Amino acid sequence: MHKSSGSFISRRSVLKAGALSAALVALPVWSTKVIAQATNALTAQVGSSSPNGLISFHAGWMIPVEDQKALLVLEEKKIKEAQASAPKAAQNPGAATEASKPTKKTWTEKLQDSWKQVKNYF
């Protein structure tokens, strides 16, 4: 075995450096592959609970992929309708219903409301 001293570079250290560089170059390629494999496995797993190929549409609706396009178009239409009716409501603030107004409730009333909500879960 060589003894390292001063500026002496051994053949072994050159080989070590080479192997390390190769590993560093290969790591991103290898890791991407591993991550992709894991992702695929996960996707397959998720897919298994939705065997009919359902996907999650906006707000989490579970729908078949073939319905997505038409739903997007319809949703866009509904958004525009909502936007069109919004300024009218703003121009006529008196039309706001009692229910939409903030209410001043006592602490006891709030507690009773919470209790009613909790009781619904029994």
Partner 1 sequence: MAINPANNFDADIIVIGTSIAAQTVIGQFKNSNLKILVLEGGDLEQTPFAQSLTFSDERGHYVNHHWGGHWLRSYGGASRVWNGFSAPLENWDLIGIDGRPKWPLSIDELQKYYRLSAPLMGEDPSVASLVKYNVAQEFVDRPYIIMDSPLSYSDPKLLAANKNIELRLKHNVIKFTADDSGSFINGIWYSVDGDIRFASIKKNAQIVLGAGGLGNAQVLLQPADNRRVPVGNESGLVGKTLMGHPHVPTGEAFVDPAVLKKPTWAQVKYKKWLPAYIIGADYKTKHNLLNASLSLTMAHDTELSPNEKAVKEFYEKKWGKKLVRQSLYARTEQLPNPDNRIEITAEKNAAGLHKLITYCVFGARDMMVVDTIARMLATHWMKNQLGVATIDNDSIFLKIWGWAHPSGITRFGATPKDSVCDANGRVWAYQNLYINGSSLFPTVGYANPTWTIAALGMRLGDHLTSTMKKNA
**Which residues of the chain form contacts with partner 1 (CB under 8 A)?**
49-52, 54, 56-64, 67, 70-71, 74-75, 77-79, 81-82, 119-122
As measured in angstroms, the least distance from the Cβ of 36 to partner 1 is 23
Q: Which is nearer to partner 1, 107 or 122 (CB)?
A: 122
Q: How far apart are CA 122 and CA 118, in angstroms?
A: 7
As measured in angstroms, the least distance from the Cβ of 77 to partner 1 is 7
As measured in angstroms, the least distance from the Cβ of 81 to partner 1 is 7
Residue whose C-alpha is closest to residue 65's, from 56, 77, 73, 74: 56
Q: Which is nearer to partner 1, 58 or 105 (CB)?
A: 58
Q: Which is nearer to partner 1, 27 or 81 (CB)?
A: 81
Q: Which is nearer to partner 1, 12 or 80 (CB)?
A: 80
Residue whose C-alpha is closest to residue 76's, from 61, 62, 58: 58
